A = this chain, B = another copy of it.
Amino acid sequence: MSRVFNFSAGPAALPQSVLEQVRDEMLDWQGEGMSVMEMSHRGKAFVSILEQTEADLRELLAIPNNYKVLFLQGGASAQFSMVPMNLLKDKTNADYINTGSWSKKAIAEAKKYCEVNVAGGSADVNFSRVPTQQELQLDPQAAYLHFTSNNTIFGTEFHYLPESGDVPLVCDASSNILSKPIDVSKYGLIYAGAQKNIGPAGVTIVIVRDDLIGTVLPGTPTMFDYQPHADNDSCYNTPPTFGVYVAGLVFRKLLSEGGLAQIEARNVRQSETLYKMIDGNGFYDCPTEQASRSRMNVPFTLANAELDGLFLQEAGAAGLVTLKGHRSVGGMRASIYNAMPDEGIAALVSFMADFSSRHG
């Protein structure tokens, strides 16, 4: 079989050119006579990969010097604990915005360590939008304000940056990091699991303002303390070396494509193409409110849910896979992260038009 267009919500499609380079370097990375998987993380070769990867990420996001970049393990789920364990200090409460499943998990975990003030959310409308700044009820004494910048399941995204005054802003950016330029200096901490826009599952990136780390709650495991990771340039223990290498290749590719402004333009174009198709065709419907629509995850339903199975079957036969929606929303979901080529969007839109003309 040839390559498919993979609309998986994560782990997700990677750029084909990156996979080709990984393939070509599998037995011998740049004349070292070994795979990146076989390299000592303390050796010159891997250290050069790690340094370049961090430098490229810093360039892509214009990360200020007073922010540490950490390559960790454990996914966003580990961050759900690490954030309160590291950022609470002598405070006992934090603000969280609840925009769906991932926010809820972050809130549940934080409640082990502090009082959580749900400063806003959209549970009342089944998370079909994100709250506006005016709707947020922020506590100026909170240790931090946590929000999920994109919700993969409900297909919503913040198109503004919550304003939290002097309270550090903490963002779970797992599913839209690197999809557009951001002003890192407005954040206290940004974290992201790699498996959507960065690379393989098993790498977690944390970007944290350096004055926010160094004090943890009693009983915090050393591995859950940002400080030793920062002090050892992400080599406090063996990092997920191969994942870091693949992430580095993705960063290089994004830079070669012109950086995040260019990437954002493509993401806007691709998502608008898809939403326009859905909105303009009476057969499909998108459950999310216009102003909150995600550029990364596009959920849509068919006029007749009994056709869902046939839609998925025919789409699969056409090389368009992993389109089934999450059970809490139903229907379909097309996840179109950075690695989705324009051809994938064109093929999906064309298939959807054809399917609706035959069954609408």
**Least Cβ–Cβ distance between A72 and chain B, in angstroms:** 9
Q: How large is the interface on A (under 10, 10 to 19, 20 to 34, 35 or more residues)?
A: 35 or more
Asked whether A360 is an interface residue with its Cβ less than 8 Å from the other chain, the reply is: no
Q: Of all chain B residues, which has the CB nearest A76? A: B237
A153 to B14, CA, bound (A): 38
Q: Which residues of B contact A81 (CB under 8 A)?
A: 221-224
A1 touches B31 (CB 8 A): yes
Given contacts A23-B26, A40-B9, A40-B10, contact A238 B195 (CB under 8 A): yes
Q: Which residues of B contact A51 (CB under 8 A)?
A: none
A80 touches B8 (CB 8 A): no
Residues A305-346 near B (CB distance < 8 A): 319, 321-322
Residue of B4, B40, B82, B240 touching A322 (CB-CB under 8 A) = B40
Interface string of A46-78 (1 = CB under 8 A from B): 000000000000000000000000000111111
B242 touches A200 (CB 8 A): yes
Residues A24-47 near B (CB distance < 8 A): 26-28, 31-35, 37-41, 43
Asked whether A155 is an interface residue with its Cβ less than 8 Å from the other chain, the reply is: no
A33 touches B77 (CB 8 A): no
Asked whether A131 is an interface residue with its Cβ less than 8 Å from the other chain, the reply is: no
Asked whether A202 is an interface residue with its Cβ less than 8 Å from the other chain, the reply is: yes
Q: Which residues of B contact A10 (CB under 8 A)?
A: 40, 238
Asked whether A230 is an interface residue with its Cβ less than 8 Å from the other chain, the reply is: no
The A interface, classified by DSSP as helix, strand, loop or mixed, is loop
A34 touches B75 (CB 8 A): no
Q: Which residues of B contact A195 (CB under 8 A)?
A: 238, 241
A237 touches B75 (CB 8 A): yes
Residue of B33, B38, B221, B239 touching A319 (CB-CB under 8 A) = B33
This chain's copy number in the assembly: 2
Asked whether A217 is an interface residue with its Cβ less than 8 Å from the other chain, the reply is: yes
B241 touches A33 (CB 8 A): no
A77 touches B2 (CB 8 A): no
Asked whether A112 is an interface residue with its Cβ less than 8 Å from the other chain, the reply is: yes
Residues A138-194 near B (CB distance < 8 A): 193
**Least Cβ–Cβ distance between A236 and chain B, in angstroms:** 7
B13 touches A34 (CB 8 A): yes
B37 touches A238 (CB 8 A): no
A193 touches B78 (CB 8 A): no
Asked whether A19 is an interface residue with its Cβ less than 8 Å from the other chain, the reply is: yes
Residue of B13, B28, B33, B202 touching A240 (CB-CB under 8 A) = B202
Asked whether A109 is an interface residue with its Cβ less than 8 Å from the other chain, the reply is: yes
Question: What are 18 sample pairs from A and B whose C-beta atoms fall under 8 A apart?
Answer: A2-B28, A3-B28, A4-B34, A8-B38, A10-B238, A11-B38, A11-B41, A19-B37, A22-B26, A23-B26, A76-B237, A77-B223, A77-B236, A82-B221, A195-B238, A201-B238, A202-B239, A224-B224
